[in-house]
Amino acid sequence: MDIQMKRGLLDLCVLSAIKDEDSYGYQIIKDIKPYIEISESTLYPILRRLEMADLLTVRTVEYNGRLRKYYHITDMGIKRIQDFKTEWDEIKNIYNFVTREEAQ
Amino acid sequence: MTKSEFLKTLETELCVLPQADVQNTLDFYNEMIDDRIEEGVLEEDAVSQVGDAQEIAKQIIMETPISKLVKQKIKSKRSMTAVEIVLLILGSPIWLSLIVSGFAVLLSVYLSIWAIVISLWACEVSFIGGILGGIVSACIICATGQNVYAGAVMLAAGLFLVGFSILFFFVCKAATSCMVWISKKMLLWIKSLFLRKEQK
């Protein structure tokens, strides 16, 4: 897949992985993996970027005698997912345009 | 590789980044490995699943904006001892002049190569002048009814220059495009020099 496109989709996947309840790094990877290829080294910069953009917040929780970071989606993050739904119609139009010759 | 070895490598490789960023990265990977171990994965396997520490560090540094790296570099420079600063200032007449003269030499070499190219073009212009001169003088000599042979020689010289200047034009063009290519390469080289310095 095109790198730029994958980047945008990965952002959305991470956001939707924490949409219903807060989650932590390893759990996010396990949740997303069936749908899109992701590794620790890809997830880390995404989480940083989403945090910088105020799409999610981080809190550290003590778990089993060690620390674990939980990621919580913000209202802006939820809005980002909503926006994607409307963008999808545009993408479908673009898809139809790009593949129009094959359809004939 | 054990977890602590992995984290140690990561920390050393990331030393160009601000301390807070380094700690953040270490925490993240520490947690990732711990979560795997808790799931029953052997420590060594958990570490190798997470990835190669050097590769991870390289990727993080590449994704960090240059401005941040430079800022960090300047910050770490501030921690120079007083002796180092004094030496740096005292030595400035030496190293500063060395750097300046080094750049001056490079620049003059570069400019003199350009001078060759310019002089080639000057030759081309003079050849074209020679063509015009030859033909005009041949016309004048013939019109005034002077020595016909002299006029023929002038005309022949003019025609010869026509052919020669066409050939010479391609030589000039090749020399110029060669110089442009060299300039581009040099620019790239200088840029990479700075980038490498900033990343280290």
Query: Is the pLDDT confidence value at A8 over 70?
Result: yes
**Mean pLDDT calculated for residue range B118-123:** 94
Q: Which of A26, A39, A41 sits opposite B35 (nearest CB)?
A: A26
Separation of alpha carbons A46 and A52, rounded Å:
10
Residue A17 has pLDDT above 90, yes or no: yes
Q: pLDDT value at position A102?
A: 64
Flag whether residue A26 sits within 8 Å of chain B, measured between CB atoms. yes
Q: Which residues contact B117 (CB under 8 A, 6 or more apart)?
A: B172, B175, B176, B179
Helical spans, DSSP H, in B39-147 = 43-50, 53-63, 66-78, 82-90, 92-143
Interface mutation vs chain B, best among A37, A48, A51, A64, most B CBs within 10 Å: A48
Per-residue pLDDT tens for A28-74? 999 999 999 998 888 999 999 999 999 999 999 998 889 999 999 99
**B54: closest chain A residue by CA:** A41
pLDDT for the residue B101: 93
For residue B8, give the DSSP letter: H
Q: pLDDT tens, A74-85?
A: 999 999 999 998
Helix axes B82-90, B92-143, angle to 10 degrees: 30
Residue whose structure tokens are 């620390």: A67
Q: Which residue in chain B is spatially nearest to A64 when comparing CA positions?
A: B38
Q: Rounded CA gap, A68 and B32, in Å?
A: 9
**SS3 assignment, position A13:** helix
The H or E element containing residue A24 is: strand A23-24
In this predicted structure, what is the pLDDT of residue B200?
A: 45
Q: How far is CA B35 from CA A30, A64, B60, in A?
A: 11, 10, 22
Total-model pTM? 0.56
Question: What integer pLDDT is reported at residue A2 of this predicted model?
Answer: 80
Residue type, B156: A
CB-CB under 8 Å, B60 with A45: yes
pLDDT class for B66, splitting at 50, 70, 90?
confident
Q: CA of B41, closest CA in chain A: separation in Å? A: 13
User: For residue range B12-64, what is the model confidence (pLDDT) as tens digits?
Assistant: 988 888 888 899 999 999 999 999 999 999 999 999 988 899 889 888 888 77
Q: Which residues of A touch B25 (CB under 8 A)?
A: 44
Choice between A5 and A79, residue whose per-residue pLDDT is larger: A79
According to the model, what pLDDT value does residue A69 have?
94
The answer to whether A72 and A22 are in contact (CB under 8 A) is yes
User: Looking at per-residue confidence, does B188 or B120 come out higher?
Assistant: B120
pLDDT(B76) > 80: no
Q: How far is CA B41 from CA A29, B33, B46, B80, B83, in A?
A: 16, 9, 6, 45, 52
Set of chain B residues whose Cβ sits within 8 Å of the Cβ of A25: 28, 31-32, 35
B50/A44 Cβ within 8 A: no
Residue A35 at interface with chain B, using a CB cutoff of 8 Å:
no
Q: Do the chains contact at B32 and A39, CB–CB below 8 Å?
A: no
CA distances from A86 to A15, A19, A81, B110 (A): 16, 18, 9, 57
- Tell me the pLDDT band of B197, cut-offs 50, 70 and 90: low
pLDDT in tens, B77-119: 566 778 888 888 888 888 889 999 999 998 999 899 999 999 9
Contact A56, A77 (CB under 8 A): yes
Look at A90 and B81; give whichever has higher pLDDT: A90
pLDDT at residue A103 in the model:
55
